[in-house]
Structure 1
Amino acid sequence: MDHTAADDISHQANAWFALFHGGAPTPEQRAAWSAWMAADVRHAQAYAELENLWAASALLLQPSPAAAPVAPARLSRRRFVGLGLAASAAAVTAGAGTLWLNGVDSPFADLRTAVGERRIAYLPDGSTVEMAGHTAMNLDFSATRRAVELLHGQAFFRVRPSAAGEFSINTQAGRLHTREGEFCVSCENDAGLVAVSQGRVQVLTAGQQTELEEGLSLSFSARATGDIQRAELAQMLAWRNGRLVFFNEPLLTVVDALQRWRKGRIFIMDKQLAARRVSLILNLDHPDQMLDVLSRALAVRTTRYTDLVTLIYPA
């Protein structure tokens, strides 16, 4: 099977899985799903893989009765400073580039969330924004203007049409414009990603303008704009339903995402391990168990030094 066909089946399986686990399918949709499952054995296999992954993640979240709690390693101030210097100099410094240990920064932002917090806010024009953990933004609304500055983080916007004109989002990576629609934006430093679930979004970066339609995504930065991709919306928006979903992603990407949902800093101490591909579903209602789930599922070893620093090694 060629890669294009495999990607199409994976995308369809993700869409059906999201419908059945995050929505209320109609009888017609259930019939269409049954027909899709019966049409090709590869359809059923792809859907079964998602079901098995979901079930395995639920089991991993249940503490083992035979497992005794392990106290985190003691760490002196001298050793902590030495560890920080060593980790900073390491070839693999896995985790997001910004270190947030206290859970909140951008204290003067108009809207913000702490690490692990989710929040829905109503904007002055009647639009709404659903904010993921560790997200901050400023608002600029008037009778003739509606603009958001996304300082950092991830947010899902539902933009309503308004006499004030276009809705704009400014980031370090570029600007977004739309009149109405639904889309998710994430931005850390000068790297951004947008995925459109309804309507159209215009992305403006240095020297380039890109129009995104429903079901498409785009990575962008102040220096370059990526290729338009099909958006895996069920995966990208799973955090809104209390899950983090990763399919064939590098462990480094997974760890970067965890930084938004649990306090402290995580370092992967091996280059090959950081590049290892991972399929995993994590429950945001149990942030303290995320690393335990990760270590069990991937057979890696984690060492915690207080609640501030965690190191990940090959098993």
Structure 2
Amino acid sequence: MAGSDGAEADGIDDGDDPIERAAAAWVARLSSSDATEADHRAFEAWREADPAHAAAYAEMDALWRRLGQLPDPRPRRGPLEEPAKGPPEGSLKGSPKGSPKTLSGLAALALIGGGLAYEVGLLDRLRADLWSDVGTIAHATLPDGSGVALNTDTAIAVRFTAQERGIALLRGEASFDVVPDPNRPFVVRGGGLSVRAVGTRFFLRADGAGRPVGVAEGRVDVSGPSGRAVVSAGEEIRVGGGALQVAAADVERDLAWRDGRLIFAGRPLAAVLAELDRYRRGRIVLLDSRLGERRVTGAFDARNTDEALDVIAATMGARIRRLSPLLVLVGSPL
């Protein structure tokens, strides 16, 4: 089921301004956690070499912050202050299509940011024994006979010893069908949590998700900086309030990705788009927070997120704009 009602596809020229592309590269590079002092010195030299460099960087930096990539250091207005006159810097509002320069800048940022994300993922893969690419799901059998499924963009390192069957979840999400062995517990560590099991089926996410652990069969012992909890079949861990909270959950639905399906029941569109974003390179950017609050119920193919976006556009009357393979904008209802 794919519809085009309310959907709009647009492209941009590939002839980007080289100064804009350089500025986008600097914004992405300096926002990276591994940016060095040498990077900062080289950037200052580039920016001071030409006033056009400084202007392009300021514009790209504003766009990057608008997309939520960096915290905005500008002070927030108090409740009694007058609103600023005119549109905010880097605003995407205005004409429905946006200015060509703005769209070009967004595409450049998505391209550079996507490239950096790929490089970070590559480092994790170099340390991994098993990994999956963005948009793919991999299944494997571990040395003890336990099964593992790797969700999109996931990497694990196998660290089995005589005392413990250890797994390091370096990135992403994985589910495990654990073969019982009372003498060697099965322990998965990732995302600041340690999950200990003897024989069970569960998943762990290491990407900062609010629901990082779920159990389909058996029980697991979860520990982390916020405490410790025992999670049984049909339950999940929810992170919040300074403690690990155990709650009932439809774990089988949450594990549908193992078969290439993404199932949502009354989830906010913003959360659905964030999940779809995990299965594609680049970014899906939601431009309307009110639209993001609308609820979505449905099943989608994890291997075809473009079709999922088209269905959302047709059923919710949202405008979908594909600026490049790496950047999709989801706008207000028509």
TM-score by length of 1: 0.69
Over 3 Å counting, the alpha-carbon distance change for 1:214 and 1:126 in structure 2 is: same
CA distance in 2, matches of 1:118, 1:158: 16
Q: Which stretch shifts more, 298-307 or 73-82? A: 73-82
Helix, strand or coil at the partner of 2:212: strand
Helix, strand or coil at the partner of 1:107: helix
- The percent identity for this pair of structures is 27
Q: Which residue does the alignment assign to 2:284?
A: 266
Q: Any residues of structure 2 matched to 1:12-91 within 5 Å, and which?
A: 59-60=1-2, 70=9, 72-74=11-13, 76-78=15-17, 81=24, 85-90=61-66
Task: Please tell me the residue identity of whatever aligns with 1:88.
Answer: W
Equivalent of 1:183 in 194, 202, 218: 202
CA apart distance, 1:204: 0.4
Over 3 Å counting, the alpha-carbon distance change for 1:140 and 1:283 in structure 2 is: same
Over 3 Å counting, the alpha-carbon distance change for 1:251 and 1:228 in structure 2 is: same
Equivalent of 1:146 in 135, 140, 165: 165
Q: Are the counterparts in 2 of residues 196 and 214 from structure 1 also a CA contact under 8 Å?
A: yes
Q: Which digits, 9 at most, give the CA deviation of each residue in 1:196-222, with x for residues without a partner? A: 11110111022511001111111237x
Q: Are the counterparts in 2 of residues 206 and 224 from structure 1 also a CA contact under 8 Å?
A: no
Equivalent of 1:122 in 141, 151, 167: 141
Tell whether 2:52 aligns with 1:113.
no
Task: Please tell me the residue identity of whatever aligns with 1:179.
Answer: V
Q: Which residue does the alignment assign to 2:190?
A: 171
Task: Please tell me the residue identity of whatever aligns with 1:200.
Answer: R
Helix, strand or coil at the partner of 2:281: coil
CA distance in 1, matches of 2:228, 2:7: 56
CA apart distance, 1:76: 4.7
CA distance in 2, matches of 1:224, 1:135: 27
Number of matched pairs: 249
Q: Which stretches of structure 1, 4 residues or longer, exceed 6 Å deviation after superposition?
A: 66-69
Q: Unaligned regions of 5+ residues in structure 2, if any?
A: 25-55, 70-112
Q: Which stretch shifts more, 295-304 or 101-110? A: 101-110
Q: Which residue does the alignment assign to 1:298?
A: 316
CA distance in 2, matches of 1:199, 1:291: 36
CA distance in 2, matches of 1:286, 1:207: 37
Q: Are the counterparts in 2 of residues 251 and 274 from structure 1 also a CA contact under 8 Å?
A: yes
Q: Which residue does the alignment assign to 1:254?
A: 272
Over 3 Å counting, the alpha-carbon distance change for 1:300 and 1:134 in structure 2 is: same
Helix, strand or coil at the partner of 1:188: coil
Over 3 Å counting, the alpha-carbon distance change for 1:68 and 1:133 in structure 2 is: closer
Over 3 Å counting, the alpha-carbon distance change for 1:159 and 1:70 in structure 2 is: same
CA distance in 1, matches of 2:63, 2:291: 16
CA apart distance, 1:294: 2.1
CA distance in 2, matches of 1:130, 1:313: 34
Q: Which digits, 9 at most, give the CA deviation of each residue in 1:54-74, with x for residues without a partner? A: xxxxx23xx77x999955333
CA distance in 2, matches of 1:68, 1:89: 26
Tell whether 2:108 aligns with 1:132.
no
Equivalent of 1:196 in 208, 211, 215: 215
Q: Which residue does the alignment assign to 1:225?
A: 243
Q: Which residue does the alignment assign to 2:297?
A: 279
Helix, strand or coil at the partner of 2:245: coil
Tell whether 2:253 aligns with 1:235.
yes
TM-score by length of 2: 0.66
Q: Which residue does the alignment assign to 2:47?
A: none
Helix, strand or coil at the partner of 2:205: strand
